[in-house]
Amino acid sequence: MKTVYDFMVKDRAGNDVSLSEYNNKVLLIVNTATGCGFTPHYEPLEAMYKELRDKDFEILDFPCNQFANQAPGSEDEIHQFCTLKFGTEFPQFAKIDVNGDSADPLFAFLATEKPFAGFGKGIKNAMLNKFADMNNKKFGDKAYIKWNFTKFLVDRTGKVIARFEPTTDMAEVRKVVEEFLG
């Protein structure tokens, strides 16, 4: 059975990183953007990271510019923005695509393991769904991720156990993470 640990990704400098380096850790893998309405998620993500990393918890940040060009900067510009504005310390990797023919294999795997189940109820969520559908139409059946700040929770064995859309309250995300940390 394939797990997250079977994948290689690129760090911000373009070096290969095996996700097996995170074996036996609980992971929250996130596609991010610096110019998105959900960019303030960096704040509770960093708070969660600082408070839980000693329990073998890691957040892996993958910037992506496929959603309304909301992450146009270079890896260094994105990293500088995140560290200066939000004080992020969790690992940030090279900017990737999460949809289409150029989708990073990790995100295609994550989304296949935990497919999109909706943004939730309410007018804001319905509007985001409509906007996301228009944006992702060009990716067809390879529109794996609907929007920035989609989060995947991975257990200590590398199995994908939960998917959180950007509309999920960060307190709920943290609650589930803490449950898996024991």
Q: Are 37 and 67 in contact (CB under 8 A)?
A: no
Cα atoms in the 13 Å half-sphere on the side-chain side of 179: 10
CA dist., res. 152 & res. 138, Å (int): 23
Q: Which of 26, 33, 36, 111 is catalytic?
A: 36
Sequence length of the chain is: 182
Q: Is 36 one of the annotated active-site residues of the chain?
A: yes
Residue with tokens 């990716």: 139
Q: Are 145 and 31 in contact (CB under 8 A)?
A: yes
Among all residues, which ones are annotated catalytic? 36
